[in-house]
Amino acid sequence: MITISVCMIVKNEERVLARCLDCLKDIADEIVIADTGSTDRTKEIAEKYTDRIYDFEWQDDFSAARNFAFGLCTMDYIYSADADEILDRRNTEKLKRLKETLLPEIEIVQMLYSNQLEYNTTYNYDSELRPKLYKRLRPFVWEGRLHEAVRLEPVIFDSDIEIIHKPESLHSGRDFSMFRRAVEAEGELSGHLHEMYARELAVSGEDGDFIKAGDYFLKAAEKSADPEALKADFYILVRAARASGNPEDMFRYMLRAVALGTVSETAYEIGEYYRSRGETGEAVMWYYNAAFETEPILNAKYGDEYPKLRLEELGWQERKDPSV
């Protein structure tokens, strides 16, 4: 049987930490918690489960915090948990069986990460496989009878264990300021962070967040040759221009977006512009386009819930043609 370190970074998680640790306490051979500056009862709650609690000075860098916490683990495998995750009884039993039977050559175990969309996360899916269990010490292995080489790719096992992501609130306000500081420090973001910035704006951004992000996304769009990234960039720019009361820029970016192939977010935003002007017919056409003729790229609700709600508010019935 393998041994497992449950490893977490936390800050002000008093509302959810016990819920998470109750699911994992019977699986963990040790629990390692790095606290990045809690001012609530987080550490007091953690002490009921472990004495391996460490302070880590926050550096505006989640990877630095996770690397610190990983470095404190001593068991065969490390289970990386977030405080707003839970395992139900069935999946807890699956994880126990996995612990008893996992082959030692497996270096990463992926689990189904279930984003309950009612909790308004930044993801558009119900579940996806994510790496959650990592072998702490990885051996380097030579392979091949001839022209031998060291195996670089990890051995990954895709399990059917499902982790439920159940946040009590979004951290978008914190994240927006971190995105902006990262841009100021580095000039640009990696492709993954760029996408996550756009996604978080689409899920929970206010007008001011879009306006502050406008310069960055304009510079990114000017450099990009990726049509999918540009669709997201132009949506951000359309929203930022509308929020700034600048229809000339809004239509400039809208036309570029339409030329690439309209997405639901942009269509909805155009509908919002016409609705604010009292031009119901134009608004209905764009809301219909968002709901029935395009696909969302950042937030699934812009292709379904949001435009359908607007259509209902404007008295449109689904059986009718949008031009009626």
Q: List the domain boundaries for the chain.
A: 4-165, 172-313
Instruction: Fold for 172-313, please state it.
Output: 1.25.40
What's the pTM? 0.71
- Residue 197 CA to residue 216 CA, distance in Å, equals 11
Mean pLDDT, to the nearest integer, of 245-259? Answer: 94
CA neighbours within 13 Å on the CB side: how many for 249?
Answer: 17
Q: What is the structure's pLDDT at 128?
A: 83
What is the per-residue pLDDT across 162-216, written as a single tens digit (0 to 9) for each? 999 887 765 555 678 888 988 888 888 889 889 999 999 998 899 999 999 999 9
Q: How many secondary structure helices (H) and strands (E) does the chain include?
A: 12, 10
Alpha-carbon Rg for the chain in angstroms:
23
Which residue type, as a one-letter code, is found at position 49? Y
Asked if pLDDT for residue 309 goes beyond 50, the answer is yes
Any idea which of 9-13, 181-185, 247-251 has the lowest mean pLDDT?
A: 181-185
Asked if pLDDT for residue 11 goes beyond 90, the answer is yes
E-strand ranges in 81-178 read: 85-86, 108-115, 127-135, 142-143, 149-150, 156-165
What is the per-residue pLDDT across 109-155, written as a single tens digit (0 to 9) for each? 999 998 755 544 444 446 788 999 999 998 888 888 776 788 888 99
- Residue 215 CA to residue 173 CA, distance in Å, equals 18
Structure tokens, 301: 């609700």
CA neighbours within 13 Å on the CB side: how many for 78?
Answer: 20
- What backbone phi and psi angles, to 5 degrees, belong to 157? -115, 125
What is the per-residue pLDDT across 286-303, written as a single tens digit (0 to 9) for each? 999 999 999 999 999 999
E-strand ranges in 19-92 read: 30-35, 53-55, 77-80, 85-86
Tell me which residue of 84, 291, 299, 258 sits closest to 171, measured CA to CA: 84
Instruction: Fold for 4-165, please state it.
Output: Spore Coat Polysaccharide Biosynthesis Protein SpsA; Chain A (3.90.550)
| DSSP single-letter state for residue 5 | E
Question: Residue 179 to residues 150, 176, 195, 213, 310: CA-CA distances in angstroms?
Answer: 37, 5, 11, 9, 31
